Amino acid sequence: MNEEFGTPRTREEKVESLIHLYVDGGLPRRELMRRLGRMLGGTAAATAALSSHGLAQIAPGACPANVLVSENDPDIEWRDVTYPGGEGTAFGLLARPRRQTAALPGVIVIHENRGLVEHIRDVTRRAAKAGYVALGIDLLSRQGGTQAFGTDTLRTQAYGRTLAPDRFNDMWAAIDFLKVQPGVQYDKIGAVGFCAGGGNIYYGAFHGLPLQAGVPFYGTPPSPLPQADLQFPILNVFSDNDRNQAARIPELAAAFVASRITWGLQLYKGTGHGFHNETSPVYNAAAACDAWAKTIAFFDRHLKSSAS
């Protein structure tokens, strides 16, 4: 694969892709075991593959009742939107506080490698309930949008066909759309992204995306890191058991220090990649709630504070 979420070709890449889909909540465990067993030659080999990823005996944690934000929540209003993308029409979900009386900062919500699924739509509503005008973007728009694909497997394959420069242009188009919406402070736009979405924030940061704050959750930075003068504050959220990504922290820190930007790091002990996603088997309610609270506090500081 040319990049982390490209089309898997070797057996090892196909195993990694299946396990990642499972961790993101896109594949039931029974189906995962069936596919791995067929690919690797039996249940024992499938179990060993899961064990090597620290997933042998994981049970999903309970999601606190007040985390999810219903489509009917009286505190927010939302609508599906279309707007000019980097190429053609882009799709998204625009949400804001219902009783908004003054201009508010905006937040772009960037999905994992499965598109604008219900989990990300919910996160977009959470950002609105926290006092932001939020836009959940669909990086599958160039292929007809997330709704054009009937399963998470097909959505993942579609994401694997996207290219980093195209996603960058689509994120830029989303920022342009959000900052001209009524009631949005055009010069106060942040972004939060998960997994592939976190990687897109890193790519954007190192290529000049015009944001004022970014929070990548367990995202993979470009490799190698481009030489760049970073411009906006970044809060980095990593999981303890996500060894490959955690190994990139030192070089990220060096780049942040060299650029003299404000940055923070949250490494959640005992968690796995995808811990914020309540549909995932590795969901960790305590870590997810704490990370989200810190995300909003970071945005409040850098997007709402007059001193930012």
pLDDT of 221-270, one tens digit each?
999 999 999 999 999 999 998 888 999 999 999 999 999 999 999 999 99
Task: Identify whether the C-beta of residue 193 lies closer than 8 Å to the C-beta of residue 219.
Answer: yes
Q: Counting Cβ atoms within 10 Å, is residue 59 exposed (0-12), middle (13-18) or buried (19+)?
A: exposed
Report the run of H or E that residue 291 belongs to, with start and end: helix 285-299
Pick from 53, 43, 49: nearest CA to 23 = 53
Which residues contact residue 200 at a Cβ distance below 8 angstroms, ignoring those fewer than 6 apart?
A: 110, 139, 164, 167, 168, 171, 193, 219
Interval 19-33 mean pLDDT: 72
* Class of the domain covering 76-304: alpha beta
Q: Which residue has the tokens 């097909």?
A: 154
Per-residue pLDDT tens over the stretch 97-141: 998 999 999 999 999 999 999 999 999 999 999 999 999 999 999
Count of CB atoms within 10 A of residue 250's CB?
9
What integer pLDDT is reported at residue 62 of this predicted model? 62
- pLDDT beyond 60 at 57: no
Q: How much is the mean pLDDT over the chain?
A: 90
What is the distance between the alpha carbons of residues 67 and 50, in angstroms, rounded to a whole number? 29
Question: Per mean pLDDT, which range of 29-38, 120-129, 136-145, 277-286 is the poorest?
Answer: 29-38
Report the run of H or E that residue 252 belongs to, with start and end: helix 249-259
The confidence band for 58, taking pLDDT boundaries of 50, 70 and 90, is low
- pLDDT beyond 90 at 10: no
Q: What is the DSSP letter of 142?
A: G
The confidence band for 307, taking pLDDT boundaries of 50, 70 and 90, is very low
Task: Identify whether the C-beta of residue 302 lies closer than 8 Å to the C-beta of residue 213.
Answer: yes
What is the distance between the alpha carbons of residues 307 and 43, in angstroms, rounded to a whole number? 57
Model pTM? 0.84
Pick from 35, 197, 171: nearest CA to 113 = 197
What is the distance between the alpha carbons of residues 237 and 136, in angstroms, rounded to a whole number? 19
Report helix angle 11-23 to 43-52, nearest 10.
Answer: 70
Q: Counting Cβ atoms within 10 Å, is residue 30 exposed (0-12), middle (13-18) or buried (19+)?
A: exposed
Interval 1-17 mean pLDDT: 71
pLDDT higher at 67 or 91: 91
Residue 172: how many CA atoms within 13 Å on its side-chain side?
15
| Torsion sign over Cα 31, 70, 272, 281 | negative
Q: The tokens of 9 are what? A: 């070709």
What integer pLDDT is reported at residue 59 of this predicted model? 53
Q: Where are the domains of the chain?
A: 11-52, 76-304
What is the distance between the alpha carbons of residues 198 and 236, in angstroms, rounded to a whole number? 9
E strand segments, the chain = 76-84, 89-97, 104-110, 133-137, 184-194, 213-217, 234-239, 263-268
What integer pLDDT is reported at residue 40 of this predicted model? 78
